[in-house]
Amino acid sequence: MSDRAALLKGIRVRLVLFVVCLVLSGATAFPLVHELHGLESLLRALSVPEHLPALMDWIERVRRGLDAADADYPFLLYGTDWLAFAHLVIAVAFYGPYRDPVRNVWVVEFGMIACVGIVPLALVCGPLRGIPLWWSVIDMSFGVFGILPLYDARRRIRRLESLSANPSVVPAV
């Protein structure tokens, strides 16, 4: 396998990993009420309330809030539908760098900027909304872990770009 082919394969693997995680994250925002009921049942079955009472209290509080919103104000959950949709739309944007990484490196850089932006958002909006700090740390981890494959993909794209700039290598059309 040539250097160019190996780089392209590595870039695509990292982009697919990022897109799969983005799609899963988005898709799970649609059925929040049902997911939280299932999560609460699972945590009780695993005896989590005895070991991590603060986590269980938070899950119960969020579930009660979602139940109330679903029963009395279901239009509020429409916001999470839009959140899910945004994840899916952003995932589609990564088809460009999958197809032509050098030309579409800006999409990868945009994703990296978005990952970095998660941290201040969680640190500012979390406390404003009464989110426990430990939960904000979980939210921030999406940005921290999300940027890793994107950073590596960008590094590989730059190497691919330098190979393509070499006159002995015929650039792909």
Provide the residue-wise pLDDT of the chain in tens; the chain has 173 residues.
789 999 999 999 999 999 999 999 999 999 999 999 999 999 999 999 999 999 999 999 999 999 999 999 999 999 999 999 999 999 999 999 999 999 999 999 999 999 999 999 999 999 999 999 999 999 999 999 999 999 999 999 999 999 887 755 544 54
Q: Check: CB of residue 110 under 8 Å from CB of residue 150.
A: no
Dihedral angle over CA of 52, 55, 60, 62, nearest 10: 180
Residue 33 burial (CB < 10 Å; 0-12/13-18/19+)?
Answer: middle
What's the pLDDT at 72?
97
Whole-prediction pTM: 0.86
Give the CA angle between residues 117, 122, 127 to the nearest 5°. 150
Cβ neighbours of residue 87 closer than 8 Å, sequence gap 6 or more: 22, 23, 25, 26, 27, 29
Taking the alpha carbons of 96, 101, 107, 112 in that order, is the dihedral positive or negative?
Answer: positive
